[in-house]
Structure 1
């Protein structure tokens, strides 16, 4: 017998014999920071020694501090909008660290910690929310796509990219330097969009090497998960023939393990997987939202006790893998990131409106240049009228 959690309780149950059981919740660290045995997934975290575990903790702390600073900057009028990721760090860091360099991530708009795990400077994310650029970074630099604000549409992009990798012969070769896969992130609310269902159908029938990670943070803005589905969201995958698994999204080890297994299957030619990371958005949906209007403080307190960072910190200290010096060093690094984030943001200055013509095509285009010239003259006409 092994301990596998259901949605709300710890219940001894035998390991599922099928490739995935969407009604079980995989957990390797319980809310008190105690390590649980899991014969299926233990091997995927066996290579994470004390240094790697401390790295996961550092990742989550830095991501949270960056998120807190960005939220504060928006409140101060420095950003037009910000989608907080408070509480979802384990689901993002665990899955992000399971990726290899050649894997490609397609985020929604809240995957700040995933960007960090891909080697991106999280401060670059501010460019789009500051309004100085429409994109903000080069997706090819870290195999991390631009944020997608049209809910669910990027799941089709991710599936198409995965099908391309498959047709390029970069799947199932047995060469770890060549085989690659795709991870696409979306929220529980996005599962109600047709695009997500269509993407999973395409992925299933083509056996595309794509891992769908649904961060079920309980609320699609103000609509609870009960308004989206009457069964675990992981069953959306089994409905189209995709192996699916529910994982405790506040458990960074379990999030890492299930993603590592899914990616290994995808890279080897085994096709897609749907992961439902059961987590909680402890902050607002965006800084334009007021969660006190639709959820209770008791609910927030319940999930605050299941904080993913506190859980790993307890495990590290109990196992002797982290001492006060290490924790203080991480706190200092977070403070430094907070200060540099403020400086970086305030130094971002908007480009002129004529920049909209710069990247329409990769090469010069006569019509675009004609429109640029017309727009320049139009803008100058206002200056001449003011004289």
Structure 2
């Protein structure tokens, strides 16, 4: 029994010894596999996108409106050089933005002109890209010039003075034009444009201008197609001031002209208005212009000098109220009728002294209101704008709602 156990113990020890050998055996046979080497995959950098140059409007554009803003743009880079020249080689001024991504022209383009554009841009690595081409502006069929009144040299005007814009060609796209007419006032005022003809548009407030209002008018029609291929020749900017509120009021049945300044009665004048055959139109007038000396002519309203009732009469201190020939003026020959009877051809006759006072103290844009006289003054007669109701006035706008 003892021998059998001894043999089993020896066999176990031998087996353990054999299992232990690989852990310290140095021979090639049975050597452990070498560890796999660590690998690295270095990523290639993304390729740099080349700079791309574009223009607005695009190169090779034709019939471009001259007010179209001209831009040169760089994508994936920055602009380093931009030149735009006209047919004579004159450079169009412009400037880069802060990031040098866009160049913008600082002057309007001219009509019927081809501009040559040359630009260089660089990408993130400094590699340059160049582009060039032409842009050609429209050649209008004809041009129209807008005149604005009051003008820059009109001085202070009265509270009844409308703004008048008159074109020297017919305007068939009234809405397009009206969208480019802007009035800015201090203090703010509610007003509207209204077309009196295909060439004339007026602006008036809903009520008389507040005294001492400052008014700025912008007629931004350069480059604009006003219809039928006619384009605006240039834009206009005008500023003017409104003075004190001056309103003269007369009732044709009373024949007394009462003059108010800032709603305070300051003077009364006996007057004689139009007789039955030539009544003074009833309505609200605005002083249009004044002449120290003026010759009244019946031919101005269709009666020749050699016809019955024809006349040519020199007068002093003439303040025109309408295109049809209504004035406040000196009429020393009718002083005996003034305040008593209406004997004039339609004008408001006053004494020479009173006509001089009116001439000196009332002026362009001031208001004369005539009541209980002849037929209504037409809106188109002089500055008869105030003879339309506010709704009627707004109905003359080409825009809905009307521009203010």
Task: Give your verdict on TM over 0.5.
Answer: no
Structure number with higher strand proportion: 2
Of structures 1 and 2, the one with the larger relative CO (CA 8 A, separation 6+) is: 1
Structure number with higher helix proportion: 1
Rg larger for:
2
